[in-house]
Structure 1
């Protein structure tokens, strides 16, 4: 049975609960509320239109990702006239990082509007960012580029994009650690193994070895997350040497 928020009970009404909730998030009136309904529909419902095409947020998520990149790139191009292509690309990546998009989705509590067959507590953290991207895509389809740009400036750029703060933000500690190792021709290895703890979800544990010496350990629900956590711990353990070499 579909887990449908009560807010969806007035789907057809232009002044229904869902319409008003979306309007509050956007700061302006939606023209076609059905686009936003799709942006908050999870694939687990297996909804399709009359032509048999899936009706969920995934295609809107793809579109929203592109729109976010476009608006953020334009903003950085204007605000940092001295930044070269590599610098601007790195800064844009920091703004639209998965971690940041998830934070944006959580701040707006978008998951409360999600229509799904799966209990929301079972979703991973990325669902928040996915819905946020889908919402941006819906705005573009419903109201065009200008309204999409306005929303991104209000919800992303104005409260979160601080050039100086972004310059010091690390996107991936693993990439930073590997870059430092390669620069100094140091050998490193991530030793990954199953963690047979008492947690309900399966965990992975990682030992990060530097020149055959373990410098950090970590565990998480995926190998990627465990490696990133171990890298972060290694980074802070070796922070003085790494920052001296890479800055």
Structure 2
């Protein structure tokens, strides 16, 4: 009798857990999911080392690939229809601004998707990009679960309607480094990023960057990664030379 009670109790607990997950996912999606397994996989980190009976890994990385493709497809179609004057280069640049890693990370954070992640790595050890990664994997799960129409519906609701303002996006800079390099190449100026370690007294590893143009240091920056330091120095360079660069 005790064994039966334990089995019954465990069954009810699992059903309750599924019910809570279902309700939370439905709130985020705006429609009921059909197969919760797709969504559980969308939040499974590779550190869990889960595999299928066939030996294939179970984690969100493949869904992330699929979601990235679906997101790009829906955004591309939207821009094609809403910006009939735009050529291929314009449309590509606008799509890049919408699906930038920074923006996807913001979307993942806004939906608090990190609450669902299953991992053997503490959440605080994840980098910023995990938020955008699981946002894309969620889109991949929607496609597998409900198909393209529902996938498009979700992207329209969560990305296009609240964030895609074409006139505003036209003036948005997604990479100051690219902007600086493009301007230097056009103006035939020689630029150089001097990168060096600049560790602090707290033991944290930092990188310093000096950005020179035609042999003159224009800006300096410091960050916890080379990429971030370069971008910060590029941003400061843009603000220092904005009047000249905006005339390009």
Classify the TM-score, shorter chain. Answer: over 0.9
Query: Shift of the alpha carbon at 1:14?
Result: 8.5
* Residues 174-198 of structure 1 deviation map (CA, whole Å, 9 limit, x = unaligned): 0110111111111110000112213
Query: Shift of the alpha carbon at 1:15?
Result: 5.2
SS of alignment partner, residue 51 of structure 1: coil
Partner of 2:184: 181
Tell me, in whole angstroms, the C-alpha distance in 1 between the residues paired with 2:195 and 2:89.
Answer: 32
CA distance change for structure 1 residues 160 and 82 in 2, over 3 Å: closer, same or farther?
Answer: same
Tell me, in whole angstroms, the C-alpha distance in 1 between the residues paired with 2:107 and 2:145.
Answer: 21
Task: Report the TM-score, using the length of structure 1 for normalisation.
Answer: 0.93
Counterpart among 22, 25, 40 of residue 37 in structure 1: 40
CA distance change for structure 1 residues 199 and 125 in 2, over 3 Å: closer, same or farther?
Answer: farther
* Residues 2-45 of structure 1 deviation map (CA, whole Å, 9 limit, x = unaligned): xxxxxxx9666685211111111001111000000000111111
Asked if 1:46 is matched to 2:49, the reply is yes
Structure-to-structure mapping, 1:100-111, within 5 angstroms: 100-111=103-114
Tell me, in whole angstroms, the C-alpha distance in 2 between the residues paired with 1:11 and 1:156.
Answer: 33
Asked if 1:23 is matched to 2:26, the reply is yes
Counterpart among 219, 223, 227 of residue 226 in structure 2: 223
User: Mean Cα displacement is larger for which, 113-122 or 137-146?
Assistant: 113-122
Tell me, in whole angstroms, the C-alpha distance in 1 between the residues paired with 2:242 and 2:15.
Answer: 56
Unaligned runs of 5+ in 1: 1-8
SS of alignment partner, residue 218 of structure 1: strand
Tell me, in whole angstroms, the C-alpha distance in 2 between the residues paired with 1:144 and 1:14.
Answer: 25
Tell me, in whole angstroms, the C-alpha distance in 1 between the residues paired with 2:195 and 2:15.
Answer: 51
CA distance change for structure 1 residues 57 and 11 in 2, over 3 Å: closer, same or farther?
Answer: farther
Counterpart among 183, 192, 212 of residue 209 in structure 1: 212
Tell me, in whole angstroms, the C-alpha distance in 1 between the residues paired with 2:231 and 2:202.
Answer: 20
Structure-to-structure mapping, 1:18-97, within 5 angstroms: 18-97=21-100
Tell me, in whole angstroms, the C-alpha distance in 2 between the residues paired with 1:101 and 1:201.
Answer: 27
Partner of 1:124: 127
Aligned-residue CA RMSD in angstroms?
1.5
CA distance change for structure 1 residues 96 and 199 in 2, over 3 Å: closer, same or farther?
Answer: farther
User: Mean Cα displacement is larger for which, 30-39 or 18-27?
Assistant: 18-27
Unaligned runs of 5+ in 2: 1-11
SS of alignment partner, residue 247 of structure 2: helix
CA distance change for structure 1 residues 199 and 93 in 2, over 3 Å: closer, same or farther?
Answer: farther
